Copies of this chain bind each other. A is one copy, B any other.
């Protein structure tokens, strides 16, 4: 389930909204998730007990006594990445990372990956090999074998599609749909850095006429915090160890990765679980790097943490009495773990608690591929 704030540059589908009333709903009316629901209904019903189909971070399939996890994600040049901003090795890393994050979000372990590569005529061997090296770096670190693929010619844009198959150890996995009222909402790591990195690249890209790759090395004068955010944007680390550690406790009711942005992702969790969510803005984990980068970029750090997708942190719903046990397990992997809100019994209500204690609806700041 991959999208991202960078997609905002491509809003062409707005004309879909001009379709007439009384016809089948247009794609923009349905939205990405409405479309997925509608298409799922056309497929043969073939899931067995304990299996999970379309709509979670990864699908779950039983094969004998094994529990497999499967996810696929596409990255399209000009929609999900810009070649002139993105070093190819970082792109290779990230293309695998977004898929591994879906496995992490189920509490699983990656086993193998398949890659489809659509290459334009101007993508030279150096670019492609650098892309593969970045992908191989993360494959090695995460013990995920890249075992096959398809390579074709693409006339206009490079596109990448990765599929990762993982396993749920001892059949234990966590979906998005088990959050219950009273659960605490917790998140790994820190939020907003990737989006801050994106804004830094965008601003540098707009100032530069070179057309060459923009990288953190190109900013000798910018604060270290900004550079750290750019690194996070280019090389997000999927939270495989933290997700596994959390799932192993057996206490996590629901889990997903933050890939679309917190304000959108909490909605998905709430919708799948049939609950409401209250987020305390003062509790959002903001890194020192983000606190340094935000004013430099003229942005508000809390806004970045709320809107930012692509941090690939894990969001979890945990009953209060087990929070400390899950925290101990997650933090033993070296990853911070922060309580940012609670699950409520008011389905669909997504509320923000301001630092002064006032509450208000939390507006959506998320990118959906089919809405304008």
Q: Kindly state the separation between the CA atoms of A36 and B73 in the bound complex, as whole angstroms.
A: 21
Q: Across the interface, which residues of B come within 8 angstroms of A121, CB to CB?
A: 12-13, 15-16
Q: Which of B16, B47, B64, B119 contacts A147 (CB 8 A)?
A: B47
Q: Across the interface, which residues of B come within 8 angstroms of A149, CB to CB?
A: 36, 54, 72
Number of copies: 2
Given contact pairs A59-B147, A116-B161, A149-B72, A140 touches B24 in the complex (Cβ within 8 A): no
Tell me the minimal C-beta distance from A253 to chain B in angstroms: 22
Q: Which of B19, B132, B148 contacts A72 (CB 8 A)?
A: B148
| B167 and A44 contacting across the interface, CB-CB below 8 Å | no
In the complex, A70 has a CB within 8 A of chain B? yes
The residue on B at minimum CB distance from A42 is B132
| B16 and A73 contacting across the interface, CB-CB below 8 Å | no
| B147 and A54 contacting across the interface, CB-CB below 8 Å | yes
| A153 and B63 contacting across the interface, CB-CB below 8 Å | no
Q: Kindly state the separation between the CA atoms of A119 and B157 in the bound complex, as whole angstroms.
A: 14
A103-137 near B? 1/0 per residue, CB < 8 Å: 00000000110111011010111101100110110
In the complex, A74 has a CB within 8 A of chain B? yes
Please tell me the number of chain A residues within 8 Å of chain B, measured between CB atoms.
86
Q: Which of A27-35, A175-183, A207-215 contacts B (4 or more CB under 8 A)?
A: A27-35
In the complex, A344 has a CB within 8 A of chain B? no
Q: Kindly state the separation between the CA atoms of A108 and B76 in the bound complex, as whole angstroms.
A: 32
Docked complex: A1-54 residues within 8 A CB-CB of B:
1-3, 7, 10, 12-13, 15-16, 19, 24-27, 30, 32, 35-36, 38-39, 42-44, 46-47, 51, 53-54
| B71 and A151 contacting across the interface, CB-CB below 8 Å | no
